[in-house]
């Protein structure tokens, strides 16, 4: 894989970074965490994961999945640098 292909893989699949910066959880109005691997936006406060489908964040509570216990525990720990 070339460096350009590798960089493209790390970018959200069609999701505008500026959009990700302004979106908030519709329940708590708090910021979200982008989970690149699962293509989801995570709300720590609501403990919900909102899906991103075809590059479009689905910000509906009915479409969000609750986080499991392991995910909740991981979110309590700040990410390492």
Give me the percent of the chain exceeding a pLDDT of 70: 77
**Is residue 14 very low, low, confident or very high in pLDDT (cuts 50, 70, 90)?**
low
pLDDT value at 64 more than 60: yes
pLDDT value at 47 more than 60: yes
The pLDDT of 46-74, averaged and rounded, is 95
HSE on the CB side for 70, CA within 13 Å? 0
pLDDT of residue 3: 58
pLDDT of residue 2: 59
pLDDT value at 11 more than 70: no
b/e sequence 5-33, b meaning 16+ C-beta within 10 Å: eeeeeeeeeebeeeebeebebeeeeebbe
Domains of the chain: 3-76 (2.20.25.10)
DSSP structural state of residue 24: B
């Amino acid at each position: 894989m070339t460096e350009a292909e590798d960089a493209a893989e790390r970018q959200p699949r069609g999701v505008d970074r500026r959009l990700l910066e302004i979106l908030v959880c519709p329940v708590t109005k708090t910021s979200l965490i982008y989970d690149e691997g699962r293509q989801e936006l995570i709300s720590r406060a609501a403990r919900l994961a909102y899906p991103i489908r075809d590059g479009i964040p689905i910000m509906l509570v009915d479409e969000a999945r609750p986080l499991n216990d392991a995910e909740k525990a991981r979110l309590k720990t700040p990410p390492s640098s």
